[in-house]
Amino acid sequence: MSYNHKISILIPSTKQNIYNVVDYIESVSICDYEIIVCTPLDINFKQSNIKVIQDKKDNIGSISPINRCFKEAQCDYFFVTCDDILIHKNCFNIEEFIKSNFSNNKYKICSIGYRHSHSATVPIFKGHERISNVPILSFPAGSTQSVYDHLNGVVFNESFKHIYADNWLSYYINYHEKRVVFMPNTENDLSKDTRDPHSISVRSYDEKIFKELMNIFDSNKNIEYNHQIEL
């Protein structure tokens, strides 16, 4: 697959603050990029490198919007962010970071957004105690082609709605690569971060999806990353 630009920035959005986030990205960018926004809002951008995808009004959660943004990505590298945080300018060095740290890795995926790594780890459930100390890749970034080649062409498993999808991504990559990687010194500005109450409402649903995937994975380590679960 051939891409036209350098970095695709994927943003699920439900807030008018997306305009401020885009302005900020423009002010700190250091290379060519495109922004893809998936939103139920009626928003418009004049910039030719920004594409808006219309999300369903009744959609809950960020998983579907992020995956829809990814499907439209035209760049060699990508990262995921939100409409209520400000990224670190070092995120634009993702190409150099991937090339320098993943030459021997099949999964060329990491997380931005932290100085070193996420302090939260994949939760331990009864029967899965061996899943310990795996940091969560909350803001995935990396090679676009690697997602198509090894993650079934989706950033997050499509069974999820919002909460536990990054846990499954982290565990899946950790199992196959024996590590998860964070791009250092890319901490996000979270001062405007707010939790969408509708997204929090699906926590129980997503937890059940995660547990079911883990149960299946226990008996079949060859299941695909985007293996579908229906409750």
- Distance in Å from the first CA to the final CA of the chain: 35
Closest of 2, 8, 11 to residue 29, by C-alpha: 8
Residue that has been written with the tokens 């008018």 in this structure: 16
Between strands 182-187 and 33-39, the pairing is unpaired
What single letter denotes the amino acid at residue 25? Answer: I
Three-class DSSP category at 11: strand
The 10s digit of each residue's pLDDT in 70-113 is 999 999 999 999 999 999 999 999 999 999 999 989 999 999 99
Tell me, what's the pLDDT at 231?
Answer: 84
Say if CB 142 and CB 80 are below 8 A apart.
no
Q: Per the domain annotation, does 224 fall within a domain?
A: no
Q: Per the domain annotation, does 172 fall within a domain?
A: yes
What single letter denotes the amino acid at residue 60? Answer: I
What is the secondary structure of 32-58 as a DSSP string?
-EEEEEEESS------TTEEEEEPPTT
**How many angstroms separate the CA atoms of 85 and 171, rounded?**
25
- Both structure tokens of 207: 């937890």
Is the entire prediction scored with pTM above 0.95? no
Tell me, what's the pLDDT at 3?
Answer: 44
Q: Per the domain annotation, does 80 fall within a domain?
A: yes
**How many angstroms separate the CA atoms of 151 and 133, rounded?**
22
The 10s digit of each residue's pLDDT in 45-79 is 999 999 999 999 999 999 999 999 999 999 999 99
Residue that has been written with the tokens 């982290």 in this structure: 170
**How many angstroms separate the CA atoms of 137 and 180, rounded?**
8
Q: How many CB atoms lie within 10 A of CB 58?
A: 7
Q: Per the domain annotation, does 230 fall within a domain?
A: no
Q: How many domains does the chain have?
A: 1
Closest of 56, 35, 55, 38 to residue 46, by C-alpha: 35
Tell me, what's the pLDDT at 2?
Answer: 44
- Both structure tokens of 173: 């990559």
Return the CATH number at 128: 3.90.550.10
The pLDDT confidence band at residue 125, using thresholds 50, 70 and 90, is confident
The 10s digit of each residue's pLDDT in 128-150 is 666 778 999 999 999 999 999 99
**How many angstroms separate the CA atoms of 167 and 156, rounded?**
10
Q: Per the domain annotation, does 37 fall within a domain?
A: yes
The pLDDT confidence band at residue 5, using thresholds 50, 70 and 90, is low
Parent domain of 155? 5-219
Q: Per the domain annotation, does 29 fall within a domain?
A: yes
Tell me, what's the pLDDT at 81?
Answer: 97
Closest of 20, 14, 17 to residue 198, by C-alpha: 14
Residue that has been written with the tokens 């920004």 in this structure: 50
The 10s digit of each residue's pLDDT in 160-203 is 999 999 999 999 999 999 999 999 999 999 887 776 666 677 89
Three-class DSSP category at 114: coil
